[in-house]
Amino acid sequence: MSAKEMKQFTREEVAQHNTPDDLWIIIDCKVYDVTKFKNLHPGGSSVLLAEEIPGQDATEAFYGLHRHEVLEKPQYARLQIGTIAGETGQLLKPEPGSLSKVPYAEPTWLSDGYYSPYFKESHRRLQDAMRKFVDEVVYPDAIAREEDGKRPSVSVVKKMAELNLNVMRLGPGEHLKGLTLMGGIVTPEEFDYFHELILNQEFARTGFRGYQDGFNGGMVIGLPPVLHFARPEVRDRVMKEVLSGEKFISLAITEAFAGSDVAGLKTTAKKTEDGKFWIVNGTKKWITNGTFSDYFTVGCKTEKGLTAILVERCDGVETKGIKTSYSSTAGTAYITFDNVKVPIENTLGPVNGGVFVILSNFNHERWVMICASVRTQRNIIDECLKWVSQRKAFGKPLSSQAVIRAKIAEMIARVESTQSWLENITHQMNNMSYKQQAELLAGPIALLKMHATRTAQDTARDAVQIFGGRGVTKTGMGRVIEHYHRTVAFDALLGGAEDVLGDLGVRQAIKNMPKNARL
Ligand code: HEM
């Protein structure tokens, strides 16, 4: 029933329906008939019959125990039988695409009254369009796939392709030339790393960590070596197939034997006698999107070093899912290569020069992860500020407790400082050549990623304390916090483990110490 067709009641009329056999309640000016539902209510029937609920305004009681989304589920939305005459709901119901009005839930450049030196009109247009796209197209798919554990829907990836969103995720550059980006709201010439930051942060807003990686994460890290190092005929074919959503790719470097130690990899590639093929043997572990990939950008040991090779799924390639603490939506795989025959044309970059091919993409990969990590930390602040304002304990909102406010102060300070550092680095990326970025930014990006993932874990721990038991419960009020706390460690491992990155940043600094510097 649409809002227009809904019956209107006075509060006095609703108050008449206050018995177990005739039970109505009011939630934010909407009238619900819960007579039959009370016996199915997951919280039991007694709470609906308790004092001050039957026939009364139960808004405060409801929001102290449920998320708003409960009322939007079809099976519960249909309990609404009318509205209160002459009154309109007081609670904010975010429209798809809208910005949150909760303080610190958006970065300052998106907050009313604030300024930014970095974000221009084209960034604002892109953000606005992206938010709508994510809310309307990506978010529903993220919820459904997290629930059934299947890979993100190919139809969504294809919708992304229509808007050229997949290729935009590879960052600014020649590969965007001549394309219509997001219906033309940003030109390929304008597109810079701040536009890409917006894409990364808007996708991360969905908050589903497994889906986030499943959602072509493999492409973001596995396709750039093809773009930059494949032979033109291989590059053009594979780029077209992957960017259109026809095929999927992943980056297969890590092994059970070696993680951060790229030089310790054991997968081998040996040339056939006629020199026309590689024969690849070995295993790879924790390969994001691996279960559904058609292509694998593989780091292989060759005679005098490491070589990056593009392997197509064929006889001898087997993938099986690994159960991790996030959902199987990410397609995390264990891969075996058993005498896999790969045309020599699929070599990416120079033979034995694979370390450079692989390392050259690390800065970008880490930066993408930082963008997402900061954004999801904001989601948590949004959740916590809402919860401490609506939840009452000892007769007062949780926000009246100094210890709770202190935790939120730390969360805000962490997210704002991390976002500011990120924006600074993004500005450097926009102005530096690729070579300068490799020289000057590897250390700072490594340190920033370490910082972002540490702050994320601190925020996850604080949020669980604020939500109590709900923070470790998969459904209901604390579901976002539980998910975050369970999956936050992924950011601290993927793309370089936290401690390794911190060390890398300091080693780079020590390397650049002036020889004559003294106290
Ligand atoms: C249209 C009205 C209502 C609907 C559709 C509804 C639905 C639900 C659902 C789906 C849950 C499971 C937990 C979740 O997903 O959040 C739940 C739990 C609960 N509900 Fe309701 N509910 C309604 C009204 C109320 C009211 C008015 C009260 C209180 C007076 C109440 C008290 C509870 C309690 C105590 C729980 C258990 C909470 C927990 O486990 O943390 N419900 N309800």
Q: Whose CA is nearest to atom 15 of ligand 1?
A: 476
Cα–Cα distance for residue pair 144/147, rounded to 1 Å: 5
Cα–Cα distance for residue pair 129/269, rounded to 1 Å: 45
**Ligand 1 close to Cβ of residue 475 (< 6 A):** yes
Q: What is the pLDDT of residues 413-436, one digit of tens each?
A: 999 999 999 999 999 999 999 889
Instruction: Tell me the chain's radius of gyration from C-alpha atoms.
Output: 26
**Ligand 1 close to Cβ of residue 31 (< 6 A):** no
Q: Within a 10 A sphere around the Cβ of 393, how many other Cβ atoms? A: 13
Cα–Cα distance for residue pair 364/220, rounded to 1 Å: 9
**Ligand 1 close to Cβ of residue 76 (< 6 A):** yes
Enumerate the domain spans of the chain: 8-84, 109-215, 242-351, 361-512
69's CB contacts (< 8 A; 6+ apart) are none
Q: Whose CA is nearest to atom 13 of ligand 1?
A: 476
Classified by CATH at the fold level, domain 109-215 comes out as Butyryl-Coa Dehydrogenase, subunit A; domain 1 (1.10.540)
Q: What is the pLDDT of residues 12-41, one digit of tens each?
A: 999 999 999 999 999 999 999 999 999 999
**Ligand 1 close to Cβ of residue 74 (< 6 A):** no
Q: What is the pLDDT of residues 433-463, one digit of tens each?
A: 988 998 899 999 999 999 999 999 999 999 9
**Ligand 1 close to Cβ of residue 26 (< 6 A):** no
* Domain 361-512 annotated CATH 1.20.140.10: yes
Write down the mean pLDDT value for the chain. Answer: 96
**Ligand 1 close to Cβ of residue 43 (< 6 A):** yes
Q: What is the pLDDT of residues 48-101, one digit of tens each?
A: 999 999 999 999 999 989 999 999 999 999 999 999 999 999 888 888 999 999
337's CB contacts (< 8 A; 6+ apart) are 267, 280, 281, 282, 283, 284, 298, 311, 316, 317
Mean pLDDT of 309-334: 97
Q: What angle (nearest 5°) sits at the alpha carbon of residue 207, between those of residues 245 and 441?
A: 75
The answer on pLDDT for 149 being more than 80 is yes
Q: Whose CA is nearest to atom 32 of ligand 1?
A: 43
What DSSP state is assigned to residue 173?
S
How far apart are the CA of 255 and the centre of ligand 1, in A?
46
Cα–Cα distance for residue pair 474/468, rounded to 1 Å: 13
* Domain 242-351 annotated CATH 2.40.110.10: yes
Would you say the ipTM is above 0.95?
A: yes
Burial class (CB in 10 A: 0-12, 13-18, 19+), 88: exposed
Give me the pLDDT at residue 93, please: 80
The answer on pLDDT for 260 being more than 70 is no
Which architecture characterizes domain 8-84 according to CATH? Roll (3.10)
**Ligand 1 close to Cβ of residue 170 (< 6 A):** no
Give CA separation, 183 vs 160, 164, 466, in Å: 11, 9, 42
